[in-house]
């Protein structure tokens, strides 16, 4: 199985251990309000290219698992209110194939985007809506050729 869509499965609290053995490329888990602690399950999904965890209020820490998702192209964390912190610069630096990034509006305390954002050379869509306190963008030459792919950025 390479595609798994569990949209709106409110009864799922934890992803099963066997989940780690799947060779998933596409994982869609939006509106799974009860699911907690997905980090361990995601870590072994090294071929994952699409990950939607929007409206998952209890996902917790993701840094460890995100660092192993080197093929990830799409990451949606919008309205994931209990996401624990911003992934570290080291973790973000491993996501250099990312094309779509939607961060939770609950990161409204975020005042500065990390410099590691500069490693997203394939980024086409950056959605930071609701991150109202951002006052410092990284020192990146946004006009440079490496950011030629960026098509859409939302800050409001």
Q: Please write the tens of the pLDDT for every residue from 80-106.
A: 765 555 566 667 678 888 888 887 665
CB 134 within 8 A of CB 105: no
What is the number of other CB atoms lying within 10 angstroms of the CB of residue 44? Answer: 16
Domain residue extents for the chain: 1-156
- Phi, psi (rounded to 5 degrees) for 100: -130, 125
CATH of 1-156, one of 3.40.50.10490, 3.40.50.1220, 3.80.10.10, 3.40.30.10: 3.80.10.10
pLDDT in tens, 10-38: 888 888 888 888 899 999 999 988 888 78
Residue 5: per-residue pLDDT: 94
pTM: 0.81
**Token pair 């093929």 is at which residue?**
71
Kind and range of the H or E run holding 51: strand 50-52
Token pair listed for 61 = 């820490």
């Amino acid at each position: 199985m390479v595609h798994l869509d569990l949209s709106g499965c409110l009864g799922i609290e934890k992803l099963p251990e066997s989940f780690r053995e799947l060779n998933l490329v596409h994982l869609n888990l939006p509106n799974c309000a009860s699911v907690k602690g997905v980090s361990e399950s995601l870590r072994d999904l090294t071929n994952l290219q699409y990950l939607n965890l929007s409206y998952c209020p209890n996902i917790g820490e993701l840094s460890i698992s995100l660092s192993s998702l080197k093929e990830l192209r799409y990451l949606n964390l919008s309205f994931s209110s209990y996401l624990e912190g911003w992934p570290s610069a080291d973790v973000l630096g491993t996501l250099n194939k990312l094309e779509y990034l939607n961060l939770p509006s609950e990161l409204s305390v975020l005042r500065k985007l990390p410099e590691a954002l500069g490693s997203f050379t394939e980024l086409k869509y950056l959605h930071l809506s609701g991150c109202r306190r951002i006052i410092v963008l990284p020192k990146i030459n946004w006009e440079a050729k490496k950011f030629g792919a960026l098509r859409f950025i939302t800050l409001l």
